[in-house]
C-alpha cells in the first residue's frame, strides 16, 4: 500500500491549530475582529510606553502632541502596510478586485510598507510640529516591538504568514496552508520581534 508523504506529515501534527472566531466582539452589523484588536492594543501600548519614556528622557511631548503622534503613526502603519502588501505581494489580484484593497480585516499587511509608512509619518509629524526628529524617532523605535508582537499574534489568529512544512513536535496544519504540518512562524516572530526585541531595547534604553 502506497503511503502519501504529505498526508503522513499532516498526521504528525502535535499541536492542533486553534479554531478561533476571527470576530472578537459583535454588535449588530458592527464587528471587531481580533486582527484589528491586535493593532489597537499595539497602539495603546505604544502610547503608554512613549509617554513614560518621554518623561524619563526629558523629551517635551505634551499629551495632545503625543496623541497626534500616535495618530500619525497609525496612519503610517495602516496606509504603508496595506499599500506595501497590495503593490509588492498581490497586485494582479487587487487590480481585478480593487474594492478588496480596503478589506484590511481579512489580513494582508506588509511589514516593510508599514515601516516605511511609519517613518514618513513620524518625519511629517516632527516637521509640521517643529519637533527634533531623532529623539521622537528614538521613542517610537522603542515602542515598535509592542506593535510587532501584537501584529504577529493577529497573523496567527488569521492563519496567515505560516512557516515551512516540518515534522517538529509543535508544528501545525493551518487552514490555508494545505495539508502539510508547518512551523507556527507567527509565534516565533511574536516572541522574537515582540518580547525579545522589547527586552533588548529596554536594556539599551536604560544605559546612560
The residue ranges of every structural domain in the chain are 34-206
Please report the pLDDT score of residue 63 as a whole number.
85
Please report the pLDDT score of residue 67 as a whole number.
92
* pLDDT for residue 116 is more than 50: yes
pTM score above 0.75: yes
Residue identified by cell 509617554 is 51
* pLDDT for residue 10 is more than 80: no
* pLDDT for residue 141 is more than 60: yes
Q: Average pLDDT, stretch 62-68?
A: 90
Q: How many CB atoms lie within 10 A of CB 52?
A: 11
C-alpha cell at 30: 458592527
What number of CA atoms fall less than 13 Å from residue 174's CA on the CB side?
Answer: 20
Q: How many CB atoms lie within 10 A of CB 98?
A: 9
Please report the pLDDT score of residue 120 as a whole number.
96
CA-based nearest residue to 161, from 195, 190, 184, 193: 184
* pLDDT for residue 1 is more than 50: no
CA pair distance 140, 118, nearest whole angstrom: 9
Amino acid at each position: 500500500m502506497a503511503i502519501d508523504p504529505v498526508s503522513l506529515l499532516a498526521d504528525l501534527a502535535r499541536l492542533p491549530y486553534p479554531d478561533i472566531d476571527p470576530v472578537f466582539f459583535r454588535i449588530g452589523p458592527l464587528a471587531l475582529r481580533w486582527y484589528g484588536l491586535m493593532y489597537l492594543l499595539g497602539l495603546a501600548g505604544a502610547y503608554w510606553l512613549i509617554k513614560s519614556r518621554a518623561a524619563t528622557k526629558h523629551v517635551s511631548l505634551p499629551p495632545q502632541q503625543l496623541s497626534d503622534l500616535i495618530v500619525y503613526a497609525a496612519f503610517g502603519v495602516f496606509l504603508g502596510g496595506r499599500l506595501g502588501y497590495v503593490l509588492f505581494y498581490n497586485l494582479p489580484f487587487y487590480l481585478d478586485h480593487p474594492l478588496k484593497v480596503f478589506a484590511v480585516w481579512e489580513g494582508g499587511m506588509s511589514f516593510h510598507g508599514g515601516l516605511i509608512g511609519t517613518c514618513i509619518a513620524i518625519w511629517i509629524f516632527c516637521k509640521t510640529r517643529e519637533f527634533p526628529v531623532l529623539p521622537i524617532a528614538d521613542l517610537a523605535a522603542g515602542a515598535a516591538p509592542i506593535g510587532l508582537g501584537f501584529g504577529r499574534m493577529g497573523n496567527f489568529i488569521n492563519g496567515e504568514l505560516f512557516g515551512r512544512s516540518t515534522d517538529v513536535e509543535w508544528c501545525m496544519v493551518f487552514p490555508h496552508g494545505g495539508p502539510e504540518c508547518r512551523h507556527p512562524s507567527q509565534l516565533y516572530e511574536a516572541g522574537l520581534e515582540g518580547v525579545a526585541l522589547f527586552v533588548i531595547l529596554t536594556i539599551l534604553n536604560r544605559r546612560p
